[in-house]
Amino acid sequence: MDKVIMIGTFEFLGFHFTKKMLEEGMEVVGVHFNKEKKESYLIEEKRLQIGRNANFLEEKFNSFNGEGFESAPLIVDYYDFFMREDEEQLVALIENQLLLQNREKIIFLLPLSIFNKEFKDNRNNLEKLISSVKKQNQFVQEFFLPTVYGPWQSEAFLFQQTFVKKRDEWKLTAREWTADALYVEDVVANILKLMEQDEKRYILKNAVSAAWKKCAKFLEIEEVPVRTIDRGDDGCEVIVHQATSFEMGLIKQKNIIETLGM
């Protein structure tokens, strides 16, 4: 794999995937969507880190047709759009975009919390989209993820809120998976390897039990009940052995915030 298209290149996961793939010498087309003005400075900071790499090409979603990258795998960061309650925009745009047609491989980054019963409609819409994509492409992989934390995490997550908001402003939503958590660099490293495998559906899980609670304890978050969330059992469960400790991962997350003066 020497060329990749990353949809959502300036999202939390999308940025980390883009950065890692560039470090490994891949050519990456980073496809992005317009963000709210209050978030635009974050895009500029991320652009400074990857935009000068000769292997990086930045494109807007509504104007990129995939020319020159016809056989390149395509990664869709649905996960971050879901976390900030903007997934319907992504689905609508993808449904009207030829970019996802006739590709050898498409990878979806997805939240485990979408199996929560209150997101039944969201899940049905996602399944329809993926089913449609599968009819047009040779190989589609799905990666389901718990809470992912680390530098550049969005304020949709409680961990990030503890660094940038007052305690009485913290808000844990049903979209955040409280049964498990993974550090973002561990997620990226494992998925890039798994993309070379033949399984079509993966569920990533931390080798350390109660990972979300351990992170919450370090951040002095008061006891939060772990929600019982029903999920489908189909999918290859992947145990992720963390290369970065909870404490170090959260410290790195905080350091980015302090550096940016957020």
Give the containing element (helix H, strand E) for 111: strand 106-111
Q: What is the pLDDT along the chain (262 residues), one digit of tens a residue?
A: 789 999 999 999 999 999 999 999 999 999 987 655 555 668 889 999 998 899 999 988 777 777 788 888 999 999 999 998 988 877 777 765 667 777 889 999 999 999 888 899 999 989 988 888 888 877 999 999 999 999 999 999 999 999 999 999 999 999 999 999 999 999 999 999 999 998 899 999 999 999 999 999 999 998 776 665 555 557 899 999 999 999 999 999 999 999 887 6
Question: What is the reported pLDDT for 32?
Answer: 86
Question: What is the reported pLDDT for 22?
Answer: 97
DSSP 8-state class, residue 167? G
**Positive or negative CA dihedral for 153, 154, 155, 156?**
negative
Residues near 233 by Cβ (< 8 Å), separated by ≥ 6? none
Strand-strand pairing, 74-77 and 3-7: parallel
Which CATH number belongs to the domain containing residue 57 in this structure?
3.40.50.720
Question: What is the reported pLDDT for 106?
Answer: 92
**Is-above-0.85 flag for pTM?**
yes
What whole-number distance in Å separates Cα of residue 226 and Cα of residue 132?
Answer: 34
**Residue 238: strand pairing partners:** 204
Question: What is the reported pLDDT for 175?
Answer: 94
Question: What is the reported pLDDT for 145?
Answer: 96
With tokens 């990258």, the residue in question is 69
Decide: 148 and 181 in contact? Cβ < 8 Å: yes
Question: What is the reported pLDDT for 230?
Answer: 59
Question: What is the reported pLDDT for 227?
Answer: 64
Which is nearest to 32 in space by CA: 5, 71, 70? 5
Question: What is the reported pLDDT for 140?
Answer: 92
Question: What is the reported pLDDT for 240?
Answer: 97
CA 93 to the chain's CA centroid: 18
Structural domain that includes position 238: 3-260
Q: How many domains does the chain have?
A: 1
